[in-house]
Structure 1
């Protein structure tokens, strides 16, 4: 049995590298003790072909945990200053290109041809993603520059407000219908992304925002690192109706590996298992078909189950799916074919 090359829909490795003294050494494996979930040598070992590498602007405020009668919630962080977020976005994109210039077998993916070349050659490809578009000008005036810099995927919001809309708060138990949706600028951003061939990522949107994207976008719907609300009633999880809408658009739901969202527990420190990951993937496959579920680990952005550990756990995820009854053809779809279909339709 062979393991197909994997496309992973979300990581925050650039954020982890951004604050290190020597990010190139950390990414290329020239350090004794890795501090990230993902670097180039381990990605090669794992069979990772392409990953969505996120730029992400942090704020000064932290996530204040509040206990509720039946669970917990985190205070929504304040909105970011656009100028500061723009600078951080640009600098992380600079870092991504510096890494690609340093490592011969690491490249920025700008097209389906680039995508295919990475899967065929064994090189690691990076799709540049912006998580929470605070660094995008409210009038989209820098969007062409960002496209020229390789950006091919944008999530309009993270779990904080910005000019484009409201992010969903982190809350358990809760549905995702807690907060406003897209602003007029947010709808304009969706249309501008459609025009240029940029994926619009529905992760971190409220349910209202999700439906705003569904009504505005002409491309397949994508939610890169999520969970299933039918298994874990968390605000970051998609409802059955949302999953159905993604499938109806010929899009994909990316299942994240993060403990907190996969766990049906009223505790933000709860741990999840490999079986939980498989349960969420299987739920989507059973409901709308295996053609509409993919992987979206959130490596370097969340705690992941010990059975996964880091990027080298990707083959174990596929092995666990095989044990659950997924065929080789199913695994190829989940691993990379579904992503290729959506990117070919969008780019």
Structure 2
């Protein structure tokens, strides 16, 4: 079984909803559930040894706009969020992460040595990520606090605008060049993350924001859960020009399992063949090289192919990649080692 370290999931969002409705999020993750995609039993069955777990502030009832007669759709952008309520929710997410760590359900990792030790101990290796920085203040005091709690990765924006920059909508077909990029506050945020050792994630930012981060940051460019725009032209996917920049900076792009970002028609449909995942991964490898491609499932945050279904199905993708000609060394890089290299560079461990 190939061990998989995954670049993006929303399991904390699911567990937060469980807590809000009177359930026990710690027991749900530790003992297993029929809900969602990730818990300890299913992770072990599928070889999922850890991943970046997102603090994400929900945007109400945002759902994909239904396609028109041509199959096209543009979902209106989510409204900006108020900071204080966002901070409250982010603290609640972080509390769940810390409780899981204390209960031994997972291990909250702050270094790649922590990740490797957790893998050896067969404990889920969780890295705290923030997807959209609505909880962070302009003075970045909260950034320091979340860093102390274990935050080691963040995306300045989700698919909505905030104090730090502009996000792309969920739309098909659409170019990712949909508006402005980083604000002045966003540039300061990126530089502070470089200083602290927090990875910057470009997964939801506009194309202009991508280039703004490339200019402001000295670190490799990383899009944790994005696919190839040349194959599925949704606004969330990366153009070949962006992929070329990732290659030049020895960055990383994580294959997103979301069917809207895999299918040629951009539809949310679980009846999506694994060949679409292989097709995107082939394109990414051809464009950025085998050392710069990994996995970023979006488990618990998206509709994924029924051939994967949940964390227990990860090895089905590994088998499909083997059948497509990927060797053991290539699979090791894609499944975990490329992520560990990038995290080491972002966290000031490498070089």
TM-score tier after normalising by the smaller chain length:
over 0.9
Match of 2:17 in 1: 19
User: 1:232-281 deviations in whole A, cap 9, x for unaligned?
Assistant: 11101101111111111111100110011111115445742211111111
3-state SS, counterpart of residue 145 of structure 2: helix
Shift of 1:67: 4.8
Distance 1:64 1:129, change over 3 A: same
Shift of 1:136: 1.1
Contact 2:269 2:303 in 1 (8 A): no
Does residue 77 of the first structure (1) align with residue 78 of the second (2)? Answer: yes
Does residue 10 of the first structure (1) align with residue 8 of the second (2)? Answer: yes
Match of 2:109 in 1: 109
Structure 1 segments of 4+ aligned residues over 6 angstroms from their partners: none
Contact 2:259 2:266 in 1 (8 A): no
Match of 2:89 in 1: 88
Unaligned runs of 5+ in 1: none
3-state SS, counterpart of residue 307 of structure 2: coil
Shift of 1:139: 2.1
Write the distance in 2 (CA, Å) between the matches of 1:38 and 1:184.
37
3-state SS, counterpart of residue 231 of structure 2: coil
Match of 2:65 in 1: 65
Match of 2:56 in 1: 56
The TM-score, its normalising length taken from structure 2, stands at 0.94
Deviates more, 1:92-101 or 1:110-119: 110-119
The TM-score, its normalising length taken from structure 1, stands at 0.95
User: 1:98-152 deviations in whole A, cap 9, x for unaligned?
Assistant: 011112x620010121022123332210000000111111221111111000000
Q: What's the Cα RMSD here? A: 1.5
Write the distance in 1 (CA, Å) between the matches of 2:64 and 2:6.
30
Write the distance in 2 (CA, Å) between the matches of 1:119 and 1:84.
35
Shift of 1:316: 1.2
Match of 2:325 in 1: 325
Write the distance in 2 (CA, Å) between the matches of 1:270 and 1:111.
35
3-state SS, counterpart of residue 134 of structure 2: helix
Distance 1:279 1:266, change over 3 A: closer
Write the distance in 2 (CA, Å) between the matches of 1:267 and 1:315.
24
Match of 2:98 in 1: 97
Contact 1:63 1:75 in 2 (8 A): no
Distance 1:307 1:268, change over 3 A: closer
Match of 1:129 in 2: 129
Distance 1:64 1:227, change over 3 A: closer
Does residue 346 of the first structure (1) align with residue 346 of the second (2)? Answer: yes
Write the distance in 1 (CA, Å) between the matches of 2:258 and 2:291.
22
3-state SS, counterpart of residue 80 of structure 2: coil
Write the distance in 1 (CA, Å) between the matches of 2:178 and 2:64.
18
Shift of 1:49: 1.7
Write the distance in 1 (CA, Å) between the matches of 2:87 and 2:133.
9
Contact 1:72 1:268 in 2 (8 A): no
Write the distance in 2 (CA, Å) between the matches of 1:270 and 1:232.
16
Match of 1:202 in 2: 202
Distance 1:279 1:121, change over 3 A: same
User: 1:169-210 deviations in whole A, cap 9, x for unaligned?
Assistant: 111001111121010001110000000000000010010111
User: 1:17-74 deviations in whole A, cap 9, x for unaligned?
Assistant: 11111111211125xx521200011112221122111011113353462655741010
Does residue 307 of the first structure (1) align with residue 314 of the second (2)? Answer: no
Contact 1:72 1:267 in 2 (8 A): no
Contact 1:228 1:280 in 2 (8 A): yes
Distance 1:283 1:101, change over 3 A: same
3-state SS, counterpart of residue 19 of structure 1: helix
